């Protein structure tokens, strides 16, 4: 069954599926970073085959030109195409830039194969340098939604104005009932990971423990769950 992302979904971000039991108390799903697992010397597809956890998986194999560790575009898409066949995999993350022509291979086949295996498609954009203008963020999320079931945008905030712009765009998409996931990286944007769900962001990411953060400014899993629930009045 595909992850629907109808409501906020908190993902435990990890490169080690043995973290899953520790994530169950606070996470709704696990984001399994195949690229980070491979970089640490593991065989991510073998680990998927051995996975028997309770939480559904969102698989990501982040390419190097989008901040990840995978440097072979064909191989990393092949791995994702195989991964979505696993019963526990209910979503896959693919980069918008790949759909727009970056890299040597097309991601459409992975998206089609994911949907054929009842998995949702998250199409993501990461800006590690700054925060685009509001109209540009709207455009990026709109483009992502053309290809994916959820559009994800992670920017780098220099100040509170950047964070506010991101939250405004998030709110606008929520008013249109369009599923987006947003967050601002860095110290100035760290609070958006807790606040963005209040404005309609559908996915959050957090490591089980702080030292395992996979992006700048992440809260640990239990802290983010607590903050989101308190801010949403749950």
Place of tokens 């540009």: 136
pLDDT digits (tens, 9 = 90+) for 6-37: 999 999 999 999 999 999 999 999 999 999 99
126 is catalytic: yes
152 is catalytic: yes
- Residue pair 217/230 in contact (Cβ under 8 Å)? The answer is no
Would you give the DSSP letter of residue 148?
Answer: -
Would you give the DSSP letter of residue 180?
Answer: E
pLDDT digits (tens, 9 = 90+) for 163-202: 999 999 999 999 999 999 999 999 999 999 999 999 999 9
Of 86, 105, 113, 152, the catalytic one is 152
Known binding-site residues for 3-dehydroquinate equal: 31-33, 62, 193, 214, 218
pTM above 0.85, yes or no: yes
Known binding-site residues equal: 31-33, 62, 193, 214, 218
- Residue pair 196/219 in contact (Cβ under 8 Å)? The answer is no
Beta strand 180-185 with 150-156 is: parallel
Using left for φ > 0, alpha for ψ between -120 and 50, and beta otherwise, residue 55 falls in: beta
H or E stretch covering 172: helix 160-175
The residue among 183, 170, 101, 99 whose CA lies nearest residue 138 is: 170
Q: Domain boundaries in the chain?
A: 9-231
pLDDT digits (tens, 9 = 90+) for 133-170: 999 999 999 999 999 999 999 999 999 999 999 999 99
CATH dotted code for 9-231: 3.20.20.70
């Amino acid at each position: 069954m595909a992850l629907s992302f109808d409501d906020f979904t908190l993902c435990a971000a990890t490169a080690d599926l043995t973290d899953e039991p520790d994530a169950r108390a606070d996470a709704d799903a696990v984001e399994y970073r195949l690229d980070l697992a491979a970089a640490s010397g593991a065989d991510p597809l073998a680990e998927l085959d051995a996975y028997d956890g309770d939480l559904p998986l969102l698989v990501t194999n982040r390419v190097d030109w989008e901040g990840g560790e995978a440097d072979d575009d064909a191989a990393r898409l092949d791995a994702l195409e195989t991964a979505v066949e696993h019963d526990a995999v209910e979503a896959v993350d693919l980069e918008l830039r790949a759909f727009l022509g970056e890299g040597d291979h097309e991601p459409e086949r992975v998206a089609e194969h994911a949907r054929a295996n009842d998995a949702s498609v998250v199409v993501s954009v990461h800006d590690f340098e700054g925060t685009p203008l509001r109209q540009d963020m709207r455009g990026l999320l709109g483009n992502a939604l053309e290809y994916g079931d959820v559009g994800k945008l992670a920017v780098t905030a220099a100040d509170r104005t950047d964070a506010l712009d991101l939250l405004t765009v998030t709110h606008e998409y929520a008013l249109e009932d369009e599923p987006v996931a947003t967050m601002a990286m860095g110290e100035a944007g760290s609070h958006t990971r807790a606040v963005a769900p209040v404005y309609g962001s559908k996915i959050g990411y957090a490591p089980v423990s702080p030292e395992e953060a996979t992006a700048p400014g992440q809260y640990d899993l239990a802290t983010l769950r607590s903050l989101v629930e308190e801010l949403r009045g749950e």
